Amino acid sequence: MIATLSGLVAEKLGELVIVDVGGVGYGVLMPLEDYGNLNIGSPVKLYIYEHIREVSHDLYGFTHLDTKRLFEQLLDVNGIGPKGALSVLGIGSVEDVRQAIASGDTKFIQAAQGVGKKVAERVVVELKDKVGLVSTVNSESFFAGTASANVDEAVQALVSLGYTLPDAVTALVDVDPSKSTEERIKLALKARA
């Protein structure tokens, strides 16, 4: 089993990256975000997922281990194969995809090529409690951990009013966290109006 590849980016051919490892070129499929960050001639270390079938042996590479883990979680969903999982990872940053799953944003997930409404719903149902939310600098004060159960009450209230989780967090970024939950919700709603 190939766990990682370290070498030089030799070529970028369509969606394939050729990584030269000691004179051997490995063709690796990658998410758009990782693909775009690679430069020909630059050293790279990729975390590899091997997909072996009777007629092919495909390598999927990721510059970060957490991206590979999300890819593998997507593969556990019935109806999503490696190319579908790569497509889901291609609709936004890894954090965007995680937050869309955690907040139940099936329309965002449906933007992935080949992913219909039923598969997007399955992704949300099966992975919502597994993906964990990646905190950002702006939302750190609203999340006390990685599980959605730890979301701030004001964020939960905005979500129940129809906001997506990322929008609810954004709406509360400039609101003083020392105010009461009720005041924070009112101020967030007023700012949006």
The mean pLDDT of the chain is 83
Sequence-distant (≥ 6) Cβ neighbours of residue 55 within 8 angstroms: none
172: amino acid identity, one letter: L
What is the fold, at CATH topology level, of the domain defined by 4-63? OB fold (Dihydrolipoamide Acetyltransferase, E2P) (2.40.50)
Tokens coding 70? 């999300």
The pTM of this model reads: 0.65
Q: Choose between 151 and 147: higher pLDDT.
A: 151
> Structural domain boundaries of the chain?
4-63, 65-134, 135-193
- For 166-180, how does the pLDDT look when each residue is reduced to its tens digit (9 = 90+)? 677 778 777 887 788
pLDDT for residue 71 is more than 50: yes
Write out the CATH class of domain 135-193.
Answer: mainly alpha
Residue 133 has a pLDDT of 55
- CATH code reported for the domain at 65-134: 1.10.150.20
Q: What is the C-alpha separation between 166 and 159, in angstroms, rounded?
A: 9
> From start to end of 41-189, where are the E strands?
43-52, 57-62
Q: Is 132 left (phi over 0), alpha (psi -120 to 50) or beta?
A: left
